[in-house]
Structure 1
Amino acid sequence: MLTVSDISKSFNTLPVLEHITFHVNHDEIVAVIGPSGCGKSTLLNIISGLCTADQGFISGADNAIACVFQDDRLLPWRTVWENISLVGDTEEPDRIHELINAVGLKGFENYYPGQLSGGMKKRCGIARAFYYRSGLLLLDEPFQGLDYCLRREMLQMLLRVWKEHKQSVLFVTHEIDEALTAASRIIVLSDRPGKIAQEFDLPEKEGRNPISSGLNKIRQEIIKRITS
């Protein structure tokens, strides 16, 4: 289980995060949502060890962590297969084939990133993250720059792969519908400096319809928190 306790962070004199405390259970998807500049990406950087907090501590992130960033970060001189296999201690061909099929890249194993569309690069990055054996997956706006229909398709694909390779997921997004679809809990951050404004528990089933009447009240509360 990932535990984030009383995390605060400033850059020079600019406070970015203040007293952030939450947890992510094993095999759970928790979404973090909030206005631009509220410190969501900084929070992921602290958890992943790319940035140090001024205050507080992180536990449960000591082992390997997989990340999917806003940009795909694929190595342009390596093929789809090679980009995925690169993060493993040893190459497991059957597992790589399984993930390539799961993300819809069958037939593109030997293609280079420059030969792929934006959505295909995102798929490759997600396959690579699941191939890396970790107990925690950090997603930082993984579908940024994709159109609405493709974002929905990619999110459903992500959930299918996650159900096969269960791990704890912390999912940062600007899109309320993505959070309502995928997460079991949603953490809403306030405007900078980011503080936890509210936390919402959602029905257990992932892949739910985000526009259902049962979720509309939560959507309105999230909008109210983000815009207030």
Structure 2
Amino acid sequence: MAATGHTVAAMSGLRVAVTAKQFGTAPVLADIAFELAAGERAALIGPSGIGKTTLLSLIAGLDSAFGGQITRPPGALAMVFQTPRLLPWRTLAQNITLAHPACTPGRARALLDAVGLAAAADLHPEKASLGMQRRAAMARALAVAPSLILMDEPLVSLDAASSARVQAVMVDVLDRSGATCLIATHDHGQALAVADRLLELGGSPARLVSDRRLPLSRQARGDPRARADLQARWFPAPS
């Protein structure tokens, strides 16, 4: 029988200590431990299928079958999934109001305006592009005034232009929220644009193989050239 892990509220940031996670008899995660200070942003990187989504699910409390303990900050948690998960029979604005009982229609429209979707508030998801839907999902995350935001490959399946636009919105959303954030991505460029630290998973079962703090301030990371230089040094292209 799988062990049941504990997820409790912390005084400030996020504390993760996962000793074991398995599916059936197959071990998936082992000996993963790290802490994020309040307001800190980290990117969980590693190849597709390594276990990033699984770890986010444990942190979110969606799966309690693991060994160890996860301590979350007090307050609301918001999760941005790989798919936007908008209700198709509701408008974008209505999807936002459903996130929290205190989110009024006016508040929902203000949040959509913050992600550049003021003119799309009354559209249904099927009438919005994938990039617009992803921005709406980020606005919905802000509706709960989260202390912790988890993002699972939030730019997947977007073309380069849409990805750049949504990434800029994502950074702005995090700046506005001041929340602690953990984003799972296999895209090194995206990780460098968003995060203060890079937490890399590797091996089988997946373990934390590196924990690197970016040498650039958040303001400096806004310069694409600075990010490209750091990416070339940290993740050189295969020769």
Q: Secondary structure at the match of 1:149?
A: helix
Does residue 133 of structure 1 match 2:145? yes
Q: Secondary structure at the match of 2:107?
A: helix
Does residue 13 of structure 1 match 2:25? yes
What's the CA shift for 1:174?
A: 0.9
**Residues 34-113 of structure 1: matches in 2 within 5 Å?**
34-61=46-73, 63-113=75-125
Does residue 218 of structure 1 match 2:231? no
Q: Secondary structure at the match of 1:107?
A: helix
What's the CA shift for 1:26?
A: 1.1
Q: Which moved more, 1:89-98 or 1:49-58?
A: 89-98
The C-alpha deviation readout for 1:50-76, integer Å capped at 9, x for no partner, is 112421100125642100000110011
Q: Secondary structure at the match of 2:50?
A: coil
User: For residue 87 of structure 1, what is the amino acid of its counterpart?
Assistant: A
User: For residue 147 of structure 1, what is the amino acid of its counterpart?
Assistant: D
User: For residue 178 of structure 1, what is the amino acid of its counterpart?
Assistant: Q
Q: Secondary structure at the match of 2:103?
A: coil
Q: Secondary structure at the match of 2:210?
A: strand
Q: Which moved more, 1:85-94 or 1:7-16?
A: 85-94
What's the CA shift for 1:215?
A: 4.3
Aligned-residue CA RMSD (Å): 1.8
What's the CA shift for 1:4?
A: 0.0
Mapped contact 1:156–1:207 kept (Cα < 8 A) = no
Does residue 30 of structure 1 match 2:45? no
User: CA distance change for structure 1 residues 62 and 162 in 2, over 3 Å: closer, same or farther?
Assistant: closer
Aligned partner of 2:194 in structure 1 is 182
What's the CA shift for 1:208?
A: 4.4
Aligned partner of 2:4 in structure 1 is none
User: For residue 204 of structure 1, what is the amino acid of its counterpart?
Assistant: S
Counterpart CA distance in 1 for 2:210 and 2:189 is 17
Counterpart CA distance in 2 for 1:132 and 1:156 is 21
How many residues align structurally?
222
Query: What is the identity percentage for the equivalent residue pairs of Structure 1 and Structure 2?
Result: 35
Counterpart CA distance in 2 for 1:61 and 1:121 is 28
Aligned partner of 1:172 in structure 2 is 184
Counterpart CA distance in 2 for 1:214 and 1:176 is 10
User: For residue 43 of structure 1, what is the amino acid of its counterpart?
Assistant: L
Aligned partner of 2:217 in structure 1 is 204
Q: Secondary structure at the match of 2:119?
A: coil
Q: Secondary structure at the match of 2:27?
A: strand
The C-alpha deviation readout for 1:73-120, integer Å capped at 9, x for no partner, is 001111111101111121334432332112111111111111111111
The C-alpha deviation readout for 1:135-174, integer Å capped at 9, x for no partner, is 0000000111101221121111111122122101100001
Counterpart CA distance in 2 for 1:51 and 1:57 is 12
Q: Which moved more, 1:137-146 or 1:85-94?
A: 85-94
TM-score (norm: length of structure 1): 0.91
Q: Which moved more, 1:49-58 or 1:79-88?
A: 49-58
Q: Show structure 2 runs of 5+ residues with no match.
A: 1-12
Counterpart CA distance in 2 for 1:18 and 1:45 is 15
TM-score (norm: length of structure 2): 0.87
User: CA distance change for structure 1 residues 190 and 83 in 2, over 3 Å: closer, same or farther?
Assistant: same
